[in-house]
Chains A and B, each alone.
Chain A
Amino acid sequence: MAWTKKVLRVNLTRGTVSVEPLNMEWAQQYLGQRGLASKYLVEEIDPKCDALGPDNKLMLVTGPLTGTMASTGGRYSVVCKSPLTGTIACSNSGGYIGAELKNAGWDMLIFEGKSPKPVYLYIRNEHVELLDAAEVWGKSIWEADKILRKKHQDPNVRISGVGRSAETGCLYAGVINDLHRAAGRSGVGTVMASKNLKAVVCRGTKGVGNVKDPLRFMQATEAGKKVLRDNAVTGQGLPAYGTQVLMNVINEAGAMPTYNMRETQFPGAHKISGEAMHQPRESDGKPNLTTNAACFACTIACGRISTVDRGHYTIKNKPEYWGSSGGLEYEAAWALGSDTGVDDLDALTYANFICNEDGFDPISFGSTVAAAMELYEQGVLTKEHTGGIEFKFGSAAALTTAAELVARGEGFGRDLALGSKRFCAKYGRPELSMTVKGQEFPAYDPRAIQGMGLAYATSNRGACHLRGYTVASEIMGIPEKTDPLATAGKPELVKAFQDATAAFDSAGICIFTSFAWTLDDVAPQVDAACDGEWTTEKLLHVGERIWNLERQFNLAAGLTGKDDSLPKRLLKDAANVGPAKGHVAELGKMLPQYYQIRGWNDQGVPTADTLKRLGLS
């Protein structure tokens, strides 16, 4: 069991809510969270629908281990069709609200239609109400959070919502929960706002009590925690430095995308690294990092809580930012920092605060800013376009002003809110957009980590590191070391990571456990919790099924194998510094083989045999 077996369906057009049983046949085939909601989405929407129209649906979904003592068992996902990519979107978040939804008795919330006016959903266990959001619409998430908490007179509610960036149509807006955790990518927040849905306010007091074999479950979760504790990455590196442990490592590997991916090493990396966050500042003697923090049930605690120097130009006269809040993760530090050439740690932290406060993806934002800076350098973009901002690489002021403009949907921020692909197209230089399927790259240059090139090109939600993190193997040697500059064996590696990741993402746990766990560690926990028999083999099979289901959605939405590509810059312009000097991303050497081992034809379409094998025909 472990599922609550209950789904809450909210029709925003009509303003009605209804309860239905979870489709347990699908739960056996797709486990939960990413897989399960993807199945519901595929069954319920037309893949060709307008992502921002009423025909798209938005699902907030937990996994069977969400809300349990399994380490990191607090995850939830937001699933819909993406307005940024036109593909299926599935963004995963930690914090506390996933567990709260489960504690309230819900596996999944499905939002359909579009509300005639701004509303939010209030949940207290079975009690569910759509309420007027007039007083929080037009407010940041941080403001809305305060207002809603006060209104409901309950300090224990957990809140997920969208900010002004989403309301004003930023195409990479996320859904923020617990102030600083984000279902951040692919514009899932834009979809939420397009439905006039501001927030979900939830309080659950029922708990998760129906695990299949409680004694075995406690043993399995304890064994899992021991593995995390004893592992150098999850036991030491991540708690101490967060994901920012990677900044110096990736820079040294020459895989640090810099200046809109023109270069592969950033001279200022050491100033914005996880180690730098620990150093007392010269200005006030305090470090940027205040503490590490865990999401619900997480025994790793990689989260960063940071404080910006009160004298820093960004917040000097803004006491509302003097407190601590969610600090820089590696992806944010890279996108806001290396890619734009900004090495001012506090400026990046402030920009990150703004991304959280008004709910937009720092990866897509930073990458779009970087593209704009390159256009500015080339003279295509001028001060006339930017509203007077000197939009140069390395300018912290340009970065933080841009963040404020995107947050509020004002001025030049409206252009930046389009995302890199549409932005570069608008200014006539589409080749400068560092995206796959319209989504901006994360922090690993595929010229220096070849497997990631294939992982980006074939990711079902556009460029993404969380769909097949071969960095683990190619750089960190997990589970075994492979040569990052070699292409041989990478199609197999990418497929294995993609399938396993889909299973992790469907269980209710965090993918960061996979630095230490394999599916052999996950299977006993799922099996002790859930009806049915859950072996490593079954989880892998489920993962592969999910991957192909997502692929089918994308193909039906109009994408083709031609979209499994990388920008010309990465395919033609060799890296000019670092260990990968002279290398390009050799996608062409890997893609055909990848299609073949996936059981897809040479156009990237799953064959009838493959679909049959996976139960998808």
Chain B
Amino acid sequence: MLRALKLEPEKCTGCMQCEMACSYENEGVFNPALSRIKVFEFHEQGSFAPYTCTQCEEAWCMHACPVEAIVFNPATGSKDVLDDLCVGCKVCTIACPFGTVNYRADTGKVMKCDLCGGDPWCAKACPTGAITYVDIADTGLARMRAWAQRGEATSARFNAPVAKDAQNFDRAKA
């Protein structure tokens, strides 16, 4: 079974445990600056969002690389950078629409998420379940369920006008 990192911003508290876990696993140092996953804060909206490589099937970075230093890992589905081949041309950083491949001045190579070879540390470190590593076919299930429940709640409201929770939910989201 292939798995994918599932990111749920509404559960993120901005604690940066994922960034430290990532840099520690990959670089042996607690250093958000070297993390392949990043947490963004949107202060005025009161929200946080973790973001990293989604491992595109037809990966722009992989296709753009002129020296074939980015390769498909069939075991995990990740697109991995081979440091020995990478020449640091940065074309992949331009090709990636999401900005999740980045150049490192200290090594002269690019870095991106490789799912830690199938056991991503960010997911293990996340204290709130905002980052999980799930069946690649099921990443949308929870969201589908939430919308299904909303529909169910809406119909319940029509049937029973006292369903206050649903009204509050609607208002909160409005």
Binds B, one of A206-214, A362-370, A586-594: A206-214
**A299 close to B45 (CB less than 8 A):** no
Chain A 188-201 interface mask (CB, 8 Å, partner B; 1/0):
00000000000000
Interface positions of A from 38 to 93, Cβ below 8 Å from B: 67-69, 71, 74
**B172 close to A280 (CB less than 8 A):** yes
Chain A contacts of B34 at CB under 8 A?
Answer: 205, 207
Binds B, one of A167-175, A282-290, A561-569, A597-605: A282-290
Complex formed: what's the CA distance from A285 to B173 in Å? 10
Chain B contacts of A287 at CB under 8 A?
Answer: 172
**B168 close to A285 (CB less than 8 A):** yes
Chain B CB within 8 A of A294 CB: yes
Chain A CB within 8 A of B144 CB: no
Interface positions of A from 461 to 480, Cβ below 8 Å from B: none
**A229 close to B127 (CB less than 8 A):** yes
Complex formed: what's the CA distance from A323 to B33 in Å? 28
Chain A CB within 8 A of B161 CB: no
**A295 close to B31 (CB less than 8 A):** no
Across the interface, B31 reaches (CB within 8 A) one of A206, A299, A324, namely A206
Given known A280-B168, A280-B172, A298-B15, contact A293–B48 (CB-CB < 8 A) = yes
**B171 close to A286 (CB less than 8 A):** yes
Chain B contacts of A74 at CB under 8 A?
Answer: 16
Given known A287-B172, A295-B15, A297-B17, contact A307–B30 (CB-CB < 8 A) = no
Complex formed: what's the CA distance from A214 to B32 in Å? 17
Given known A286-B171, A297-B20, A323-B43, contact A225–B127 (CB-CB < 8 A) = yes
**B20 close to A294 (CB less than 8 A):** no
Complex formed: what's the CA distance from A96 to B13 in Å? 13
Given known A207-B23, A324-B45, contact A69–B17 (CB-CB < 8 A) = yes
Chain B contacts of A207 at CB under 8 A?
Answer: 23, 27, 29-34
Chain A CB within 8 A of B58 CB: no
Given known A293-B13, A297-B17, contact A324–B43 (CB-CB < 8 A) = yes
**B29 close to A208 (CB less than 8 A):** yes
Chain A contacts of B171 at CB under 8 A?
Answer: 280, 285-286
Complex formed: what's the CA distance from A555 to B17 in Å? 42
Chain B contacts of A536 at CB under 8 A?
Answer: none
**B33 close to A204 (CB less than 8 A):** yes
**B14 close to A294 (CB less than 8 A):** yes
Chain A contacts of B33 at CB under 8 A?
Answer: 103, 156, 204-207
Chain A CB within 8 A of B128 CB: yes
**B168 close to A299 (CB less than 8 A):** no
**A209 close to B172 (CB less than 8 A):** no
Chain B contacts of A285 at CB under 8 A?
Answer: 168, 171-172, 174
Interface positions of A from 143 to 180, Cβ below 8 Å from B: 156, 179
Chain B 61-101 interface mask (CB, 8 Å, partner A; 1/0):
00000000000000000000000000000000000000000
In the assembled complex, the CB of A221 is this many whole angstroms from the nearest CB of chain B, namely 10
Complex formed: what's the CA distance from A296 to B28 in Å? 19
Complex formed: what's the CA distance from A209 to B32 in Å? 12
Across the interface, B45 reaches (CB within 8 A) one of A68, A179, A323, namely A323
Can you list 17 pairs linking A and B with CB atoms under 8 Å apart? A68-B20, A99-B16, A103-B33, A204-B33, A205-B33, A207-B27, A207-B31, A209-B29, A209-B31, A280-B168, A297-B15, A297-B17, A297-B20, A299-B17, A301-B13, A305-B43, A324-B45
Q: Which residues of A are interface residues toward B (Cβ below 8 A)?
A: 67-69, 71, 74, 96, 99, 103, 156, 179, 204-209, 214, 218, 225, 229, 239, 280, 285-287, 290-299, 301, 303, 305-307, 323-325
Q: Which residues of B are interface residues toward A (Cβ below 8 A)?
A: 13-17, 20-21, 23-24, 27-34, 43-48, 125, 127-128, 168, 171-172, 174
| Contacts A297-B16, A323-B43, A323-B46 supplied; 10 other A-B pairs, CB < 8 Å | A69-B17, A69-B24, A99-B16, A179-B43, A205-B33, A209-B29, A218-B24, A301-B128, A305-B46, A323-B44
